[in-house]
Structure 1
């Protein structure tokens, strides 16, 4: 309620057809209402992920046929992009008994987070880590849960190589591998060496100056810029190569990071190091695990830049064209 009137129009960032960030616009849309099992969240903050520019561009092309929950033929399947959010529960739908209006929460939706209000399934919403701001909490769900999923099998004493250690997933991956007791080597560009070192990495390789050498128990590639053979040469015969997508926009592609992951899956029966391409899934349990890592001081979000909701187009442009370090947050309200 505002001045005794019910709010029905809310601000959102809307896109109808694929293209650059110029296709995004600020619009007034109907405030969503929570259906059965859903929660209506007044969004206080969101964050930008590589997934957002992939959806904005419809890139790679093959994704338009593979995932109809996010990609349609000519434009995004949902007009409001954005997955990560943190905010305050406004109301709950029928069947939701463990969340109440006024609760501070965070989570990940398929879409809709770049808006003042979001209706989302209650199963992907959890209590916000108490010690974090809304912006910090909003950086966690997709990136930190992805890192946790990718490194689930890492054990104490193992040597772990993280290629792309300064990005959104990478900064969480360094911390999660260290929390597991691993010896971590991070790979990044010159301007990010100090950041990765400050996160606690035992060694940092500046890929613009030095080659990555040696063999590791786990090699996590978050950059997608190296060939499969090159990556496998870095893995111990009894080790594991772990792949995930992301990257930067380079003019459009047919397969993008999906190509490397598909080749890896086809090669699995014929190579000795194990190859894993895990898929992270959001859940209340995953959010609780992330909250515990934050509460115990093992993981902390790093935010490079913060933009207001109206400047989401600029935030995504920066994400897709630059080697953004750590996370980009969006302040909504």
Structure 2
């Protein structure tokens, strides 16, 4: 986000949804009036704006049944969850899956996707989000303000870490003998770097595996798969609050 002498990114915002106003002469996939959504993380960001100019390969047609607000909550969070569960570890029916940070954007999609794949899902978040997690399918919930899931004696076949504030060594006791830990990112960059360097070493020296997801924005087959789930009503974005563009700063303050 930062540069040497000035911010590298002048306008934040990755996820967008809206209606196409104009297209360039070489654009083949879209026309003015099409309703689209996408993730700008690979093309300079800039989503917190009334208009954006982007390559056509970062956009997809918005599911007709969704509002623009709902669609804008999907591109990055939905694909992070899908890639972390399906592409990175190939989640299997009957597995015990714990999602740390289950109440956020990627976490709420991860709960729903893991349930679709037949997993037994435990969601970890704060007190205010537990009822919501149950409502979207979590089999068990843990309030991290009251209980440390790494020390309660339970083990999981897969831990998907959305918040990334702890050392990867903390998670080993909570993994089954052949369990897998996947870090999605966020939280502390120091923890991400630690996992990138030490995760492969831990994985080579034991049966438990530690991975960091290398996110692939707008991967077409993943976008198509998410659209199918959304259009069928099998997953849905969970929206806590809505803010107008003029109150972006207030939205960031709310997120902390």
Q: So what's the TM-score if we normalise by structure 1? A: 0.70
How far is the alpha carbon of 1:256 from its aligned partner? Answer: 5.2
How far is the alpha carbon of 1:286 from its aligned partner? Answer: 2.5
CA-to-aligned-CA distance 1:112-141 (integer Å, 9 cap, x gap): 111111111111100001111101100100
Say whether the 8 Å CA contact 1:219–1:242 is kept in structure 2.
yes
Q: Give the Cα–Cα distance (whole angstroms) in 2 for the partners of residues 233 and 197 of structure 1.
A: 25
Higher helix share: 2
- Listed as ranges, the matches of 1:96-245 within 5 Å are 96-110=27-41, 111-152=45-86, 153-212=90-149, 213-245=153-185
Of the three residues 262, 271, 276, the one matched with 2:206 is: 271
Aligned residue for 1:64? none
Q: Give the Cα–Cα distance (whole angstroms) in 1 for the partners of residues 156 and 240 of structure 2.
A: 29
- Distance verdict in 2 for CA 1:205–1:159, change over 3 Å: same
Aligned residue for 1:297? 233
- Listed as ranges, the matches of 1:44-123 within 5 Å are 55=1, 71-110=2-41, 111-123=45-57
CA-to-aligned-CA distance 1:49-98 (integer Å, 9 cap, x gap): xxxxxx3xxxxxxxxxxxxxxx4224432311111000011111232212
Question: Tell me, what secondary structure is at the counterpart of 1:92?
Answer: coil
Q: Give the Cα–Cα distance (whole angstroms) in 2 for the partners of residues 169 and 122 of structure 1.
A: 24
Give 4+ residue runs of structure 1 displaced > 4 Å after superposition.
none
Q: Give the Cα–Cα distance (whole angstroms) in 1 for the partners of residues 69 and 5 of structure 2.
A: 32
What are the ranges of 5 or more consecutive residues in structure 2 without an aligned counterpart? none
Say whether the 8 Å CA contact 1:224–1:260 is kept in structure 2.
no
How far is the alpha carbon of 1:226 from its aligned partner? Answer: 2.7
Aligned residue for 1:262? 197
Say whether the 8 Å CA contact 1:164–1:221 is kept in structure 2.
yes
How far is the alpha carbon of 1:265 from its aligned partner? Answer: 3.5
Say whether the 8 Å CA contact 2:185–2:212 is kept in structure 1.
no
- Distance verdict in 2 for CA 1:92–1:170, change over 3 Å: same
Q: Give the Cα–Cα distance (whole angstroms) in 2 for the partners of residues 246 and 141 of structure 1.
A: 16
Say whether the 8 Å CA contact 2:166–2:191 is kept in structure 1.
no
Q: Give the Cα–Cα distance (whole angstroms) in 2 for the partners of residues 254 and 236 of structure 1.
A: 26
How far is the alpha carbon of 1:317 from its aligned partner? Answer: 2.1
Aligned residue for 2:245? 309
How far is the alpha carbon of 1:214 from its aligned partner? Answer: 1.2
Q: Give the Cα–Cα distance (whole angstroms) in 2 for the partners of residues 317 and 246 of structure 1.
A: 17
What is the alpha-carbon root mean square deviation over aligned residues? 1.7
What are the ranges of 5 or more consecutive residues in structure 1 without an aligned counterpart? 1-54, 56-70, 248-252, 322-333
Larger Rg: 1
Higher relative contact order (CA 8 A, sep 6+): 1
